[in-house]
Amino acid sequence: MSDINEIGATAFFIAGIREQEKGREHPLFNDPYAEWFVNDGIREKVRQVFAVLPEGMELVRYRSCLFDDIIRREIDNGMRQIVILGAGFDMRPLVFETEGVRFCDVDQPAVVAFKRQVLESRGVTPCAGIPCNYLEVDLPAKLAEARFDLDAPMLFIWEGNTMYLPEDLIYGFLRGLRGRVRSFRIAFDFFSRSVIDRTTGDARVTATTDAFQKALNVKWLTGFDDLSAVEERTGLKAAEFGTLFDFGKRVAPDAPEGVPELNLYLYGILTSGAA
């Protein structure tokens, strides 16, 4: 665990939120594995970060539920290849195990190795994994090496990643996928630019942003207000765009009312080719 860097360590924090779902009155998803990656130090960080804006944690629950829904829907529509970018301790390959559907985790080598070690110590076989910095390698070539078919439709789940990446590298990465993978959908979440710039004018949002970055020793670099710039710079087409809070209001019977700050966390799905 000691060779996992700060960005990698954010995966423990998210697992620390997901492990709480089982105690909820209205659980939105099932992740019985999250607790394998959490200790009391992580639980304390989660508590501290959301002390000022507890509703903020709801958005991460909605996010988990949203990406689950996308995977479920895509599998129902015939998707057979699912790549989880910056997978951290995402256990959907097991939760959504389906005959004929292949999953692949992509994350930094130390994170992939740690996850593998935890799973194997519990008697669980991890899914295929590509240990790499996906911004620095030829990911399509690595996927092909792992026997993913670049000519068949692919779904990329890119959850909790884009805020940590420089904007230009995001565009370059997406263009790289577009050039080599014939047909794909990529689903991702992002903050509005005002969250990144700390210009929301909302003290609770700024305090929560600061608390997160301080507790995890990371910096959020990039946000988007909509998908127009991403479409323009990558040639991908937006198929879906919305706020996590609106999604949450549709799925969570206990969604809080009247918290405008919660509209600053968004998601989108981009497509290339026929996928």
Ligand X SMILES: C[S@@+](CC[C@H](N)C(=O)[O-])C[C@H]1O[C@@H](n2cnc3c(N)ncnc32)[C@H](O)[C@@H]1O
Enumerate binding residues for ligand X (CB under 6 A). Answer: 7-8, 10-11, 14, 86-88, 90, 107-108, 111, 133-135, 159-161, 164
Q: How far is CA 58 from the centre of its chain?
A: 15
Helices (H), 77-108: 92-95
* CA nearest to 72, candidates 82, 86, 85, 61: 82
Looking at the Cβ atoms of 93 and 160, the one nearer to ligand X is 160
Looking at the Cβ atoms of 100 and 108, the one nearer to ligand X is 108
CA gyration radius, the chain: 18
Looking at the Cβ atoms of 37 and 245, the one nearer to ligand X is 37
Q: How far apart are CB 17 and ligand X at their closest, in Å? A: 9
Q: How far apart are CB 80 and ligand X at their closest, in Å? A: 21
Q: How many CB atoms lie within 10 A of CB 138?
A: 13
CA distance 212 to 220: 10
Helix (H, G, I), strand (E, B) or coil at 17: helix
Looking at the Cβ atoms of 57 and 152, the one nearer to ligand X is 57
Q: How far apart are CB 160 and ligand X at their closest, in Å? A: 3
Looking at the Cβ atoms of 72 and 182, the one nearer to ligand X is 72
Q: How far apart are CB 104 and ligand X at their closest, in Å? A: 13
Q: How far apart are CB 35 and ligand X at their closest, in Å? A: 14
Contact 267, 188 (CB under 8 A): yes
